[in-house]
Amino acid sequence: MSKVTYCSILKNEICSFIKLRESQGFIDKHRRVLSVLDKYLMLIKSESKELSPQIVDDWLSKNYNEVTVNTLKNYIMYYNAFAKYLNSLGISAFIAETPTRVKSYVPYVFSKEEIEKIFQIADNKKGKLGNLTCVQFPMFLRILYGCGLRLNEALLLKLSDVNFENGILHIGKSKNKERLVPMDETLTNILKTYCSVILAGKNSNSYLFESDYNYGSKNCIGQPRAINWASKNFKHILKEAGIEFTRRVVHERGICMHCLRHTFTVNSFRNQDIAGVDNYRNTPSLSIYVGHKNLLYTQEYLHTTAENSEDIIAKTEKYSKGMFPEVPV
DSSP string, 51-101: B-HHHHHHHHHHHSTTS-HHHHHHHHHHHHHHHHHHHHTT--B--PPPPPP
Does residue 319 surpass a pLDDT of 60?
no
| Domain ranges within the chain, ordered by starting residue | 11-88, 106-308
Question: Which stretches does DSSP call E strand in the chain?
Answer: 162-163, 168-171, 179-182, 214-215, 218-219
Average pLDDT, the chain: 81
Higher pLDDT among residues 209 and 249, named by residue: 209
The pairing of strands 214-215 and 168-171 is unpaired
Q: Which CATH number does the domain 106-308 belong to among 3.40.190.290, 1.10.443.10, 3.40.50.720, 3.20.20.70? A: 1.10.443.10
Q: How much is the pLDDT for 178? A: 82
Residue type (1 letter), 21:
R
* 3-state SS class at 321: coil
Residues in the chain: 329
Identify the pLDDT of residue 77.
87
Residue 89 has pLDDT above 90, yes or no: yes
pLDDT exceeding 90 applies to what percent of the chain? Answer: 37
pLDDT digits 0-9 by tens, 140-183: 999 999 998 988 999 999 999 999 999 999 988 666 578 899 99
| SS3 call for 224 | strand
Q: Decide which of 304 and 152 is more confident.
A: 152
Query: What average pLDDT does the segment 79-98 reach?
Result: 91
Report whether 31 contacts 5 (CB < 8 A): no
**Spatial distance between the Cα atoms of 117 and 318, rounded to a whole number of angstroms:** 34
Q: CA 147, CA 139: separation in Å to the nearest integer?
A: 12
Percent of the chain clearing pLDDT 70 (strictly above): 76
